[in-house]
């Protein structure tokens, strides 16, 4: 008997470029700002799909089912 396992990938993107530069703001506020305009959902998904293809081949590419990127909380889910 074969058991099917479901695996998901959730990515939280942080931009720690300005940590410690503003004395009046805690680091957690700087880390939880909206995403950069340079990071587009299409570019991010394309990069992740390319890495999955390089690591897991055709099987990994076929196993990816959709995915979505939310710009405000900077969360990405891939099923």
Number of domains present in the structure of the chain? 1
Q: Do the domain assignments include residue 2?
A: no
Q: Do the domain assignments include residue 20?
A: yes
- 22-35 burial: b if 16+ Cβ within 10 Å, else e: eeeeeeeebeeeeb
Q: Do the domain assignments include residue 37?
A: yes
Q: Do the domain assignments include residue 4?
A: no
pLDDT digits (tens, 9 = 90+) for 17-75: 655 566 677 777 767 766 666 777 777 778 888 888 888 888 877 777 655 555 555 56
Q: Do the domain assignments include residue 30?
A: yes
- DSSP 8-state code for residue 46: H
Q: Do the domain assignments include residue 16?
A: yes
pLDDT at 39: 72
**What range defines the domain where residue 71 resides?**
9-78
pTM beyond 0.85: the answer is: no
Q: Do the domain assignments include residue 1?
A: no
């Amino acid at each position: 008997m074969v058991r099917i396992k479901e695996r998901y990938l959730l990515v939280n993107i942080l931009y720690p470029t300005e940590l410690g530069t503003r004395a009046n703001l805690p680091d957690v506020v700087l880390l939880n700002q909206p995403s950069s305009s340079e990071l587009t959902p299409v570019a991010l998904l394309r990069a992740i799909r390319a890495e999955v293809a390089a690591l897991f081949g055709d099987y990994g590419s076929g196993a990816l089912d959709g995915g979505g990127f939310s710009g405000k909380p900077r969360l990405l889910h891939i099923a």
